[in-house]
Structure 1
Amino acid sequence: MQLAPAVQASLDKWHHMVSIADMRSLNEIIHPDAVFRSPMAFHPYAGGDTLATALRTVLTVFEDFRYHRQFSADQHNVALEFSARVGTRDVKGIDLIRFNDDGLITDFEVMVRPGSGLAALGEQMSEKLGAYLKAAKASK
């Protein structure tokens, strides 16, 4: 399935930012009311700023991050398969990203395996973002 042109443009921008490890333009492709669904939390985190902060931070935690495959069921939703390393743990994961008609991310869900890699990721993210995410969750 071919993505909507605005969605494809934002996805291309996302891939470029990841490839050069420069997230300065990230907020340009995130809707202010976007939702972040963390692999470590049952409840989602609301707000584009929260999503942007989580994405910027996780890319400092992941090492050797790379996308392998992309799937789309319609013009606004994509699944991106990735691999990375967190410390000594190898992880595989999926980013499920929903875009609106304007090409802005409205929902970003991450799934990670194996459990030991998820635990390592959670520990490092908590060290870097724990207080921020607790405040974001409490304010919803």
Structure 2
Amino acid sequence: MPRPLKETAVTTTQLIPAAQASLDTWHQLIATNSMTGLDAIVADEVVFRSPVAHTAYPGRAAIALVLTTVNQVFRDFRYHRSFVSEDGHSVVLEFSATVDGKALKGIDMIRFNDAGQIAEFEVMVRPRSGLEALAAAMGARLASQKDVLTGAA
């Protein structure tokens, strides 16, 4: 006879207060379509991982450039759901948008340091047609900014 499944308690996990404050600021920046104030919630040693680049982009200047640019590229951007890690230092935000008429869905995976600043920001996007449209639009706008993206500027 099969053993019954054991019930486990589900705990509600929340971000640490400093990270929650930064996430609230992030949502305000998105709502106002402005990255002014981003520096205050980003750690000096921040790393951004793009869905279209093999190498991570280090530093505040790179993440500000990428996020400002993608904010101009995305249309009909909207967050849908969020998931918080057990330790309260990470959140995954599910989103949808369009780029040049191509619909896409994606996630922002954000890890905060103990001070609540964004230490890592990684983006994943699907389907391929949406990812290709995003890559083309971002590439056209960022081609001349390689020094900023590599941290050489």
State TM-score, norm by structure 1: 0.95
1:137 positional shift = 2.4
Structure 1 unaligned runs (5+)?
none
Q: Which has the larger radius of gyration?
A: 2
Q: Which residue of 2 aligns with 1:4?
A: 16
Identity %: 50
Q: Does 1:129 align with 2:142?
A: yes
Q: Which residue of 2 aligns with 1:67?
A: 79
Q: CA RMSD in A?
A: 1.3
**1:54-84 CA distance string (max 9 Å, x none):** 0111010000000000001131100000000
Please give the alpha-carbon distance, in whole angstroms, between the structure 2 residues aligned to 1:35 and 1:64.
Answer: 26
Q: Which residue of 2 aligns with 1:79?
A: 92
Q: Which amino acid aligns with 1:76?
A: H
Q: Which residue of 1 aligns with 2:114?
A: 101
Q: How many residues align?
A: 139
Q: Does 1:112 align with 2:112?
A: no
User: Is the Cα contact below 8 Å between 1:3 and 1:75 reproduced in 2?
Assistant: yes
Q: Which residue of 1 aligns with 2:8?
A: none
Please give the alpha-carbon distance, in whole angstroms, between the structure 2 residues aligned to 1:27 and 1:97.
Answer: 15
Give 1 or 2: higher helix fraction.
1
User: Is the Cα contact below 8 Å between 1:30 and 1:52 reproduced in 2?
Assistant: no
Structure 2 unaligned runs (5+)?
1-12
State TM-score, norm by structure 2: 0.87
Q: Which amino acid aligns with 2:137?
A: Q
1:130 positional shift = 1.8
